[in-house]
Amino acid sequence: MVPFNLDEYQKLWKPQIDAVLLEVLDELGEGCPDGLQKAMRHAVLGGGKRLRPILCVAAARACGGGESAALCPGCALELIHAYSLVHDDLPAMDDDDVRRGRPACHKAFGEALAILSGDALLTHAFVVLAESVPAPMAQAAVVMVAKAAGPLGMVGGQADDVGGEGRVSSVDEIEQIHSRKTAALFEAAVGLGGLLAGAAQEQLDALRAYGRALGLAYQVTDDLLAHVGDDKALGRPAGSDRAKNKPTHPVVAGADASQKRISALVQAAITALGPLGGQADALGAIAASVEKRAGKP
């Protein structure tokens, strides 16, 4: 069997994702203040792996659905992700001046416009989502994404993360935070793709288990790269987590244990794909790429 070519898959979909993101921002038109639009574009169009929309598309494929139908809904998740990064970088949060090799939004446009651009990206994401999902399943899609992004998901995890600085001391506590802060949106990405493909409950459960394990693996990888000082891989200064006493897996458990945990989580993600069959090869390749990014060949 020929191995799935993830590079070619990403080259196929990433330009289409970027085109949709540009289109949904262009649609705001003259009614959106110019400075706000520029800040939103800075946050969204300045690079990025586009992993969440790619996961959405790949999940639809894994469940036998049309990949193109998942493209625009997946881009709504990218808008939410972009908003979260803008707010994460603010002085009151992680206080980072660089994002994706460029000035963070608040450094380029000021804190007020950065906050407002994040607010705008979040709310516009739900316009994009509601308008791009067929009516019979739009409500379920909106509820799924809102729960993943809100106080029971990503925002709740961020709040725990902020409150845990200097207090959280165990790997279990860290993973509870990251299961919401990062993994919840991964679960939503693949769950949304499955929903759009008309997936059976067993398939949706498999996707959620995959997304949860993958999201945790991805966060531990990010934290490991920050811990060992790889600025290029991160796209922002490394070492800041240690300096700020932020609770991360490598800070608490060490780099070797973090590497082993990434491998275990990636294997769990791949194993979860069993009920989906051969069409889940893209999702499997994405999981394997996270382990490779962490430094394991």
Q: What is the pLDDT of residues 5-52, one digit of tens each?
A: 999 999 999 999 999 999 999 999 999 999 999 999 999 998 899 999
Is a pLDDT exceeding 60 seen at residue 240?
Answer: no
Is a pLDDT exceeding 90 seen at residue 226?
Answer: no
Flag whether 295 is in a domain.
no
The answer to whether 199 and 279 are in contact (CB under 8 A) is: no
pLDDT at residue number 7: 94
The chain-wide mean pLDDT, for the chain, equals 92
More confident residue, 246 or 59: 59
How do residues 113-130 score in pLDDT, each as one tens digit? Answer: 999 999 999 999 999 999
Tokens representing 173 are: 């506590």
pLDDT at residue number 242: 58
Flag whether 1 is in a domain.
no
Is a pLDDT exceeding 80 seen at residue 234?
Answer: no
More confident residue, 166 or 221: 221
Buried b (16+ CB within 10 A) or exposed e, 41-54: bbbbebebebbbbb
pLDDT at residue number 47: 86
How do residues 196-211 score in pLDDT, each as one tens digit? Answer: 999 999 999 999 999 9
pLDDT at residue number 266: 97
Residue identified by tokens 């509820």 is 143
- The DSSP secondary structure of 115-156, one letter per residue, reads HHHHHHHHHHHHHHHHHHS-HHHHHHHHHHHHHHHSTTTHHH
How do residues 151-199 score in pLDDT, each as one tens digit? Answer: 999 999 999 888 877 676 788 999 999 999 999 999 999 999 999 999 9
Residue identified by tokens 């019979």 is 136
Is a pLDDT exceeding 70 seen at residue 239?
Answer: no
Flag whether 250 is in a domain.
yes
pLDDT at residue number 294: 80
Buried b (16+ CB within 10 A) or exposed e, 210-224: bbbbbbbbbbbbbbb
pLDDT at residue number 125: 98
Mean pLDDT of 69-98: 96
- Cα dihedral across residues 72, 75, 76, 77: positive or negative: positive
Flag whether 296 is in a domain.
no
Mean pLDDT of 101-106: 95
Return the closest-CA partner of residue 89 out of 244, 260, 281, 276.
244
Give the model's confidence band at 132: pLDDT under 50 very low, under 70 low, under 90 confident, else very high.
very high
Query: Which CATH number do you get for residue 282?
Result: 1.10.600.10
Q: Is 169 helix (H, G, I), strand (E, B) or coil?
A: coil
More confident residue, 89 or 252: 89
pLDDT at residue number 236: 57
Q: Is 27 helix (H, G, I), strand (E, B) or coil?
A: coil
Tokens representing 118 are: 């994040």
How many C-beta atoms lie closer than 10 Å to residue 87's C-beta?
23
pLDDT at residue number 167: 72
Give the model's confidence band at 246: pLDDT under 50 very low, under 70 low, under 90 confident, else very high.
confident
Q: In terms of residue numbers, what domain contains 14? A: 6-290
Give the model's confidence band at 279: pLDDT under 50 very low, under 70 low, under 90 confident, else very high.
confident
Residue type (1 letter), 137:
M
Total count of domains within the chain: 1
Flag whether 212 is in a domain.
yes
Flag whether 85 is in a domain.
yes
- pTM across the whole model: 0.93
pLDDT at residue number 244: 60
Tokens representing 165 are: 């600085």
Alpha carbons 211 and 187: distance in angstroms, whole number: 4
pLDDT at residue number 163: 80
